[in-house]
Amino acid sequence: MTRLGVNVDHVATVRQARRAPEPDPVTAALLAELAGADGITVHLRGDRRHIRERDVRLLREVVTTRLNLEMAITGEMVEIATRLLPNTATLVPETDEEVTTEGGLDVMARPESVRSAIRTLEGAGLEVSLFIDPDLEQLDAASRIGAGLVELNTAAYAEAVPKGLSEHEPGYRRELDKMVEASEFAASRGIRVLAGHGLTYRNVRPISRIPQVEELNIGHNIVARATLVGMERAVREMLSAMNA
């Protein structure tokens, strides 16, 4: 069974659209856990466009599964993570202009800053995951700085199947093969593998079937469905799309 981490950022996006107290991502996280989620993920961005520090603080108190904090490698975020102590810190690249995280970390370009963040966060007792593209050179660089856990970026795979799964979509096979090869390569270096970004009820199954992939982090598509059918049903339907 592949585990599911539910990203509740976009519940906070709806709240921040009106700068209102509702809907509360903390409530959404608890409902996701009740429906069987194995973990809760939030991305505290430098611009605080959705999740705020208050959310991370409350989630740390109430989440009973695992709390994963996505964060850029900045002094501010490292300070917050080592103070609030989520179970996992996922290191992601971040720019102000992007709508969502664009691409994985460039570990090859900045091995020392990634290594130093890993050291500080692990020193505080956190598990550290690196969000990287399914690229063997990046994985090799991650292995050389001692990474033990990566989240492979499924955005290119998801973009190759925009209307759902079809063997005829150009690029589908190529992007899935890249995910399989990257997962096997990471495992051969002793690196544990998670995956996420852009996954939907329609495209998730080939990724959850990759044996090395332990857990998927899924946000937008679950929250989108939750606005129509409720969080618990949306989470249950994703779990069955993954593991049926």
Known catalytic residues are 43, 70, 197
Distance from C-alpha of 204 to C-alpha of 238, rounded to nearest angstrom: 9
Which CB atom, from 26 or from 150, has the smaller least distance to ligand PXP?
150
Question: Residue 127 CB, nearest distance to ligand PXP (Å)?
Answer: 15
Which CB atom, from 33 or from 43, has the smaller least distance to ligand PXP?
43
Which CB atom, from 65 or from 101, has the smaller least distance to ligand PXP?
101
Which CB atom, from 33 or from 70, has the smaller least distance to ligand PXP?
70
Which CB atom, from 158 or from 168, has the smaller least distance to ligand PXP?
158
Question: Mind giving me the DSSP string for 3-66?
Answer: EEEEE-HHHHHHHHHTT-S-S-HHHHHHHHHHTT-SEEEEE--TT-SS--HHHHHHHHHH-SS-
Query: Among 186, 188, 189, 165, which Cα is nearest to 175's?
Result: 165
Q: Which residues contact 155 (CB under 8 A, 6 or more apart)?
A: 102, 103, 197, 198
Q: Which residues bind ligand PXP (CB under 6 A)?
A: 7, 9, 43, 70, 90, 92, 100-101, 131, 151, 196-199, 217-221
**Secondary structure E strands in 60-191:** 67-71, 88-91, 127-132, 149-153
Is the torsion defined by CA of 161, 167, 173, 177 positive or negative? positive
Chain residue whose CB lies nearest ligand PXP: 219
Question: Residue 91 CB, nearest distance to ligand PXP (Å)?
Answer: 9
Question: Mind giving me the DSSP string for 186-206?
Answer: HHHTT-EEEEESS--TTT-HH
Distance from C-alpha of 69 to C-alpha of 203, rounded to nearest angstrom: 25
Q: Which residues contact 187 (CB under 8 A, 6 or more apart)?
A: 193, 212
Distance from C-alpha of 188 to C-alpha of 242, rounded to nearest angstrom: 24
Distance from C-alpha of 16 to C-alpha of 154, rounded to nearest angstrom: 27
Question: Residue 219 CB, nearest distance to ligand PXP (Å)?
Answer: 3
Question: Residue 102 CB, nearest distance to ligand PXP (Å)?
Answer: 9
Question: Residue 87 CB, nearest distance to ligand PXP (Å)?
Answer: 15
